[in-house]
Chain A
């Protein structure tokens, strides 16, 4: 997808030898790091401030650990990791000009990405029915906005890959530039994957550190 780039310049040698499109994707990812960094910090700050959890609609105190379904989330994390593996295969295939292999692998990435999104949709509905909403607690706000933003990134990635997949049938996805275009999509996909590993650790896994989780289950602070 050469959304922003002009092939004209991409053919010209650059000062650093890195293609413009690749460089701008790295710059975007640097910026996105700060973006997710801010969101994750928000979650962690509030998690530290309110270690107890949240109160559901019936007024019952709920602990975060009881809310999470760590098996499901571990599964979807594994799926996302595997999709990165397939993405690497897809990039490599396109660099070698093996369009068919590229299609197979990219379909796999799309499929895995959709499974991840499905898990997230299930998780959100499940948590909602458990009583965690965006309005009833700070935890709900930070959790849904953080993981939701990541989900949006995944969804954009899936959309991008679907478009690439169909674009490969037009016959225009060939040569050096094609490899580059796929590689850039791959950069994005890997980044989104890595961010998920950070989120999975900082949001989910820390709740299982020790008997009462990393944040403890201290008394609720003044509301």
Chain B
């Protein structure tokens, strides 16, 4: 990737202080190549890395999905074993949610939020790097379980004493992505070694610690983004002038900091059950497994909105750009986003309609779930209002955004069907639910994120992805997606339960399962093509102008790729859609008198976020090793904690550092002339 252009010539740099931290160590500032990526605190580079990791894990999750579909293509199929299938769907769900969609959203948060609010970085650049590396550690721990599983299947562990002593020999998690206790927990009485019998093996321990680490990463990132959005807005950028994407980032981050503690506690309790023989979810000792479901879904339902709100924000940016018309009902779109976030905490039990809540809670959660359809519908109406009377230019991002609205609408409709609890009694845990949430999360979120990728890619790399390939890929995604998940509505109504690795012929499910598998492969190839197109473009694509779409928000006023200081001089904002106004309207962008010859203050790079993240990686592998009974694994965990604290300690001691960087005198730098006709299409 052409990251060299992120650097101004070194001569522009002015020493603020000696490049030594308080520790006397030389800071890794302005290195190049791999070290630069490992130590960077630049939100744009971190965003790019988030995106790259997310796309990689999307493909991993996709391969798992295709294995699932291959197994289900025919009745009584034996492509994978029952256990392997259970591991595949567990890891598919976990990977797509925590390692695919969330980090891809985080990639956009990282790259865009500072640019959209006129800031030069996030509030805590090193914390931002820490979030990325901790996420990577959690991802490696979760997927590391596959390595253990395959090594076990290949017989590599057969000669080890600890392996012979194992009772449970599943190494990759196989509980489904919500790991219901007590299947994920314990039963009976704990023995002297504080171990109670379990239903599953080490895989669940990988899952617990992996999700816990990912939670740390998400929380740290969210604190950072809220701080950034609330505190680092440029002069004149009032809250009601924030671009909608930034607004949705704020709502999402607030959801994360309030929802993740519930899953953190649930995971701690489950871990205590498994490791120390506690009784939180152990039914034989009086634990209530339904508590796990409550705790999980108090997190899990806001999580759904954590996944979908960023995509809604992206679409709310793309539609005005390509209709050439400002967003219809901006305040209501923002408000409905906040209401969705708020109500998202009040509907969790609709995931539990069949657990025997009793009629009153069922009715209450039914009605609240219907209520949440209103703000969601409001968003769709306002998007429609944005299109209405506009002049739609069809570009890959616009087509994908329209696809998002359509698919999300379908997913929303089946969601309304679920809200009716009696009907849900038939749909719960059937393929109808699979269809519903894939329409929302894949047809909705993935199309939205892909639209965002194609929309901002020219800004990130200064290169324009090939539109023909993009259309082809989008077409395949939309066609394959509907072919794969449309029939699942029928399969669910025809009684096929989810999470079953096979089914008999004679139930009438054969044809549509086969069709769904064909669709899944078309979809998989489409997503691969779309990503491949982007990767190719990042290195070899055609260069494009700074404002190829006639953009509306601040980031389009910057050169592409964006220089590391973002804004040569800090902007002063006088209106919503400020850059569009600047080009075509009455309000012009003004600039503060900072930067230029005097330089801007840049934060120094650091090794220590990476070191702290590495500590989490050691902890993450150490805990399951302990569960496996590998000798001295406890020391691995302790050394992991040590490395983590060492990283944080050195990070605190080294101080923020920093240096001055000269910027061009002209505030727009090499930015595009304000010319609406520079669109690539």
Do A and B come into direct contact in the complex, CB within 8 Å?
A: yes
Asked whether A76 is an interface residue with its Cβ less than 8 Å from the other chain, the reply is no
- Which of the segments B80-88, B265-273, B402-410 contacts the partner chain? B265-273
Find residues 228-269 in chain B having any chain A CB closer than 8 Å to their own CB: 230-233, 237, 257-262, 264-266, 268-269
Name the residue of chain A whose CB is nearest to the CB of B278: A141
Give B110-142 as 1s and 0s: 1 = Cβ < 8 Å from A's Cβ atoms: 000000000001011111000000000000000
Contact, CB under 8 Å: A8 / B658: yes
B230, B269, B278, B298 pick with most chain A CB within 10 angstroms: B278
Chain B residues near A45 (CB, 8 Å)? 288, 291
Q: How far is the CA of A5 from the CA of B230 in the complex (A)?
A: 16
Q: In the complex, which range does the number of interface residues on chain B fall in? A: 35 or more
Name the residue of chain A whose CB is nearest to the CB of B16: A8
B259, B277, B656 pick with most chain A CB within 10 angstroms: B656
Name the residue of chain A whose CB is nearest to the CB of B231: A14
- Which of the segments A23-31, A185-193, A210-218 contacts the partner chain? A23-31
Contact, CB under 8 Å: B233 / A137: no
Contact, CB under 8 Å: B227 / A23: yes
Chain A residues near B266 (CB, 8 Å)? 38
Contact, CB under 8 Å: B656 / A6: yes
Asked whether A135 is an interface residue with its Cβ less than 8 Å from the other chain, the reply is yes
- A216 to chain B minimum Cβ distance, whole angstroms, is 17
Asked whether A15 is an interface residue with its Cβ less than 8 Å from the other chain, the reply is yes
Asked whether B601 is an interface residue with its Cβ less than 8 Å from the other chain, the reply is yes
Contact, CB under 8 Å: A20 / B280: no
Contact, CB under 8 Å: B277 / A138: no
A3, A30, A31, A137 pick with most chain B CB within 10 angstroms: A31
Give B647-676 as 1s and 0s: 1 = Cβ < 8 Å from A's Cβ atoms: 010011001101000000000000000000
Give A144-174 as 1s and 0s: 1 = Cβ < 8 Å from B's Cβ atoms: 0100010000000000000000000000100
Asked whether B329 is an interface residue with its Cβ less than 8 Å from the other chain, the reply is no
Chain A residues near B126 (CB, 8 Å)? 4, 6
With contacts A7-B656, A8-B658 taken as known, whether A134 is within 8 angstroms of B272 at the C-beta atoms is yes
Find residues 161-191 in chain B having any chain A CB closer than 8 Å to their own CB: 189-190
Chain B residues near A140 (CB, 8 Å)? 278-279
Chain A residues near B233 (CB, 8 Å)? 15
Contact, CB under 8 Å: A31 / B124: no
Asked whether B374 is an interface residue with its Cβ less than 8 Å from the other chain, the reply is no
Contact, CB under 8 Å: B279 / A138: yes
- A167 to chain B minimum Cβ distance, whole angstroms, is 9
Cross-interface CB contact of A6 among B22, B259, B658, cutoff 8 Å: B658
Asked whether A129 is an interface residue with its Cβ less than 8 Å from the other chain, the reply is no
Asked whether B224 is an interface residue with its Cβ less than 8 Å from the other chain, the reply is yes
Q: How far is the CA of A119 from the CA of B224 in the complex (A)?
A: 36
Chain B residues near A172 (CB, 8 Å)? 22
Asked whether B527 is an interface residue with its Cβ less than 8 Å from the other chain, the reply is no
Contact, CB under 8 Å: A9 / B261: no
* 22 pairs of residues in contact across A and B, judged by CB atoms under 8 Å: A1-B652, A3-B652, A9-B123, A9-B603, A15-B230, A16-B231, A20-B124, A20-B227, A23-B227, A24-B123, A27-B227, A27-B257, A30-B258, A31-B258, A38-B261, A39-B265, A42-B265, A46-B288, A50-B286, A134-B194, A135-B277, A141-B272
The 9 closest A-B pairs by CB, nearest first: A6-B656, A35-B261, A34-B261, A141-B278, A14-B231, A38-B265, A135-B277, A135-B190, A31-B257
A-side interface residues toward B, CB under 8 Å? 1-9, 14-16, 18, 20, 23-24, 27-28, 30-32, 34-35, 37-39, 42, 45-46, 49-50, 134-135, 137-138, 140-142, 145, 149, 172, 221, 223
Could you list 5 further interchain pairs (A-B, Cβ under 8 angstroms) beyond the known A34-B261, A42-B280?
A2-B656, A8-B656, A23-B226, A34-B258, A140-B279
